Structure 1
Amino acid sequence: MFTIMSSVSLILLIMILLVLILNLVTKKAIMDREKSSPFECGFDAKTSARLPFSIQFFLIAVVFVIFDVEIALLIPMIKSMASSNTISFSLVSTFFVMILILGLIHEWNQGALNWKN
């Protein structure tokens, strides 16, 4: 029992020592211009993370997710085309594409795709 506790404490001591050495070695004293400049997304890294962002970036992300889900649903349909009935496959794929097109028309009519305000 004593050997297990001593080996665990020795490992813990070595870990703490390594963390302290790495913190001392890797500290940068000079703040260069790249570290204090905003990231690519436009947010300042030193201020609050709760800043409002442009709704166009959010819409681009939503459109990307929609097309990603669309592809994830269309690929199995294409794979199953050879083993299914042609008429039922055509009806299901037409229904699926029509739902996507109607959603796109709805987004367009609501003005969600207008990039200029």
Structure 2
Amino acid sequence: MMIMLMMIIFVLILANVIMFISSLLAKKTITDREKNSPFECGFDPKGSARLPFSLRFFLIAIIFLIFDVEVTLLLPLVGVMNLTFVNTWVFTSTFFFLILLLGLYYEWHQGALEWSL
């Protein structure tokens, strides 16, 4: 028990010494605002959090996520093809593709895929 306590104390002291030496050797200055601030997708983290955000970009991102999830649902169909009858696989994949294409047509018809204003 005493050895474990001594090892924990040694590790804590070593970690603090390494952090102290690192902070002494670092070449950060207070005037380097860009280097000291985290990169937040191009937004200034010290500014207002209520900046206008493009709803078109948000809509395209949501559509991408929906179709990305549907593609991940399509991948297991290849493995299912060997385990089930061919008619079941063909019906399931055709029905799934039909739903996917109808959703794509609906989004296209509503104008959600057009980037221009």
Give the alignment's TM-score, normalised by structure 1. Answer: 0.70
**1:20-35 mapped onto 2 (5 Å cutoff):** 20-29=20-29, 31=32, 35=35
Distance 1:70 1:7, change over 3 A: closer
**1:13 counterpart = 2:24:** no
Give the letter aligned to residue 96 of structure 1.
F
Q: Which has the higher contact order (CA 8 A, sep 6+)?
A: 2
In structure 2, the residue matched to 1:69 is: 69
In 2 relative to 1, CA 13–48 (structure 1 residues): closer, same or farther, beyond 3 Å? Answer: farther
Q: Structure 2 CA distance, aligned partners of 1:82 and 1:53?
A: 47
When structure 1 is superposed on structure 2, of 15-24 and 56-65 the one drifting more is: 56-65
Task: Go from structure 1 to structure 2 and tell me whether the alpha carbon gap of 1:94 and 1:3 turns closer, same or farther (over 3 Å shift).
Answer: closer
Aligned length: 114
Q: Is the 2:56–2:115 contact (alpha carbons within 8 Å) kept by the matching residues of 1?
A: yes
Question: What does residue 96 of structure 1 align with?
Answer: 96
Tell me how large the CA RMSD over aligned residues is: 3.0
3-state SS of paired residue (2:81): coil
- Opposite residue 92 of structure 2, the aligned amino acid is V
- Pair 1:2–1:69, CA change in 2 (3 A): closer
The sequence identity of aligned pairs, in percent, is 46
Shift of residue 17, structure 1, vs aligned partner:
1.7
Q: Is the 8 A contact 2:60 2:113 kept in 1?
A: no
Distance of aligned partners of 1:22 and 1:35 in 2 relative to their CA distance in 1, 3 Å threshold: closer
Determine helix, strand or coil for the equivalent of 1:109: helix
**Alignment partner of 1:110 is 2:105:** no
Instruction: Measure, in 2, the Cα distance between the counterparts of 1:47 and 1:35.
Output: 16
Partner of 1:53: 53
Secondary structure of 1:81's counterpart equals: helix
Q: 1:65 is aligned with what amino acid?
A: L
Unmatched 5+ residue regions in structure 2? none
Amino acid at match of 1:31: D
